[in-house]
Amino acid sequence: MSLREVLNRNYKQVIYIALFLSLAIPLISPIGLPVPVQKTTLGVYNKIESLKSGDVAVIGSNIGAAIYAEVYPQYIAVLEHLLRKPGVKIVLVGHGIEAPIWAERALNELNAPNRKTYGVDFVHLGYIAGEEAAIAGLCRDIHALLKVDHGGRPLSDLPMMNNIRNAKDFTIVIDFTASADSQYWLNQAYASYGTAIGFGLTAIKVPDAYAYYMAGQIFGIIESLSGAAQYENLIHKPGMAVTGMDAQSLAHLLYIALILLGNIFIVTQRRVK
Amino acid sequence: MIDVATLSLLISTTLILAVYTILYRENPAFRVGEHLMVGATVGNAIVLAVFQIRDLAWRKLQIGLTKGDLSGIGYIIPMILGVLLYFQFSSKYRYMARVSIALLLAVGISLSIRGLIFVNVIGQIRGALAPLTTIQNIAYLIGVVCALLYFVYERRASKLAGPLPKIGRYVIMLTMGAYFANTIMGRLSIVIGTLTSVFVAPALYLIPIAFLIVAADALIRRKSAKA
């Protein structure tokens, strides 16, 4: 069987193998391709850099297994950046059922319990059911909505929560998500209290968020794996995303090559006919 | 002796590779992986939902009943409304589910309407009317106006607009292109994330085994087809 016959009969399988190799090789042996930093990522970085001691950062941890590869590296990078800021209070909250699992995993991965004091520097509120109604409740009065944190400790026993009562006390909110809850934070925290909002999003959600970024309604967006890689470089802690970007860039080159090859193939076939 | 972490890594990698065999052809290994994933996801969601009802409503109701606290007893109302939703499955009593649905809709709309208008209407108009000092702002304004004109179906107005609706169509096509490109990028990121978790010893050694099984199957099928 000639190469042309193989390509004609099993072209899908050939493409899959080529894609697998283009992804696998840089993952096993990283190339170190440059990752230019976008304005949207820089917006989030600069905002966190500007936080002072006593400022409150609310982090929407709406990560799930389906979006883990895109959003979790962003989440880790931003949390690491926040943990490095002295005196900044971190409130983790989730509106997806898997959110607490990923938040706990991230806190352990970053060794947060040994770097900061729970209840003084950071608090994990866990999953709050009710989507936009829950976010509205959080913005209006956290203590009326919740009595205990994720681990069942009363909020009144957590010193930092005494000064955090509603959205007026939030300095920034960064929501990591692939669903509509980014819109909910805009509707409830930004529209009603003027809280500064930023997003960490999956690639498919990014075009939606650009409308808000262009209109100056959000201070930044971390865009999928590429945004995570940019953020990892900004905080000088290359991780999973930076390694992944080599693979993604090579796969994109493969796509371009396949599109060109496909068109050349069609043109030559037409000429033969 | 294999520890739990290694065992879970090997199981997850086997399932990942089983699901990826769909790229070769439909097969029992893929179906096992698919059914296990759906079952595990639904099971996890049900358990978490039950825990949520227990922690957010049932326990508070219990405390309310024992202490005679009205704010706790009040949790009976959302619980009843939740149960009413299940009447959707009965043709005779379906009307009872409408009470809960109506309440859900009313709360949802009333909560979001103010923010939606402020963010999606006023904020967007304000953004589009930003000072035309940069090419980006000019392109943004032209894009918004042209895309809106594309949806004006009144004939006289369309004639007055000249080529602008057509430009609007191209703006919309460009936006769709951006969505599509981002979707592809997102899907690739998922594959990269999966491969990152697979390219760890001892899970890594399962990849050549999977390739060999697929190749052997392909050869057997080819021989039997010839015979």
- From chain B, pick out residues whose CB is under 8 angstroms from the CB of A214: 127, 136, 140
Rounded mean pLDDT, A235-252: 91
**Measured CA angle at A187 (ends A182, A125), to 5 deg:** 60
- The predicted pLDDT at position B204 comes to 86
Give the residue among A180, A229, A254 at the shortest CA–CA distance from A70.
Answer: A229
Indicate which of A39, A181, A204 best probes the interface with B, i.e. most B CBs within 10 Å of its own CB.
Answer: A204
Question: Is residue A211 within 8 angstroms of chain B, CB to CB?
Answer: yes
B69 pLDDT exceeds 70? Answer: yes
Nearest CB among B116, B130, B196 relative to A240 is that of B196
Name residues whose C-beta falls within 8 Å of residue A26's C-beta, 6 or more positions apart in sequence.
A243, A246, A247, A249, A250
Contact yes or no for A207 and B130 at CB 8 A: no
Rounded mean pLDDT, B196-211: 87
B1 pLDDT exceeds 80? Answer: no
Q: What is the DSSP letter of A38?
A: P
A1 pLDDT exceeds 70? Answer: no
Alpha carbons A234 and A256: distance in angstroms, whole number: 29
Residue for token pair 């107005």: B157
pLDDT-based confidence at residue A251 (cuts at 50, 70, 90): very high
Phi, psi of A247, deg, nearest 5: -60, -45
Rounded mean pLDDT, B98-107: 93
Name the residue type at position A77: A
Q: Which residue has the higher pLDDT, A262 or A81?
A: A81
Phi, psi of B17, deg, nearest 5: -65, -35
- From chain A, pick out residues whose CB is under 8 angstroms from the CB of B52: 97, 127, 129
Alpha carbons A271 and B177: distance in angstroms, whole number: 30
Contact yes or no for A248 and B188 at CB 8 A: yes
Indicate the domain borders of chain A: 3-30+248-272, 39-238
Question: Is residue A185 within 8 angstroms of chain B, CB to CB?
Answer: no
Torsion of Cα atoms, B114 then A131 then B178 then A59, to 10°: 100
pLDDT-based confidence at residue A3 (cuts at 50, 70, 90): low
What does each C-alpha distance from B136 to A208, B42, B172, B210 come to in angstroms?
Answer: 17, 46, 17, 50
pLDDT-based confidence at residue B147 (cuts at 50, 70, 90): very high
Indicate which of B13, B126, B189, B195 best probes the interface with A, i.e. most A CBs within 10 Å of its own CB.
Answer: B189
Q: Which residue has the higher pLDDT, B124 or A121?
A: A121
pLDDT in tens, A157-201: 999 999 999 999 999 999 999 887 788 999 999 999 999 999 999
Q: What percent of chain A has pLDDT over 90?
A: 65
B172 pLDDT exceeds 90? Answer: yes
The answer to whether the CB of A218 falls within 8 A of the CB of A199 is yes
Which chain A residue's Cα is nearest to B196? A27
Q: How far apart are the first and last CA of chain B?
A: 46
Question: Is residue A14 within 8 angstroms of chain B, CB to CB?
Answer: no
- Are β-strands A122-127 and A220-223 bridged in parallel, bridged antiparallel, or unpaired? unpaired
Rounded mean pLDDT, B8-22: 90
CATH topology of domain A39-238: Rossmann fold (3.40.50)
B24 pLDDT exceeds 80? Answer: yes
pLDDT-based confidence at residue A2 (cuts at 50, 70, 90): low
B215 pLDDT exceeds 90? Answer: no
B185 pLDDT exceeds 80? Answer: yes
pLDDT-based confidence at residue A220 (cuts at 50, 70, 90): very high
Question: Is residue A11 within 8 angstroms of chain B, CB to CB?
Answer: no
Which chain A residue's Cα is nearest to B45? A97
**What part of B 26-65 touches A (C-beta under 8 Å)?**
44-45, 48-49, 52, 56
Instruction: Give the DSSP per-residue string, A157-220.
Output: GSGGGGS--SGGG-SEEEEEESSTHHHHHIIIIIHHH--EEEEEE-GGGHHHHHHHHHTTSSSE
Residue for token pair 């995570």: A228
B202, two tokens: 């001892």
The answer to whether the CB of A48 falls within 8 A of the CB of A42 is no
Question: Is residue A247 within 8 angstroms of chain B, CB to CB?
Answer: yes
User: Model ipTM?
Assistant: 0.81
pLDDT in tens, A55-100: 999 999 999 888 888 999 999 999 999 999 999 999 999 988 788 9
pTM exceeds 0.90, yes or no: no
Contact yes or no for B193 and A70 at CB 8 A: yes
- The predicted pLDDT at position A147 comes to 84
Phi, psi of B215, deg, nearest 5: -65, -40
The answer to whether the CB of A209 falls within 8 A of the CB of A201 is yes
Indicate the domain borders of chain B: 130-227
pLDDT in tens, B115-145: 889 998 999 888 888 888 888 889 888 998 9
Residue for token pair 């997102």: B186
Question: Is residue B71 within 8 angstroms of chain A, CB to CB?
Answer: no
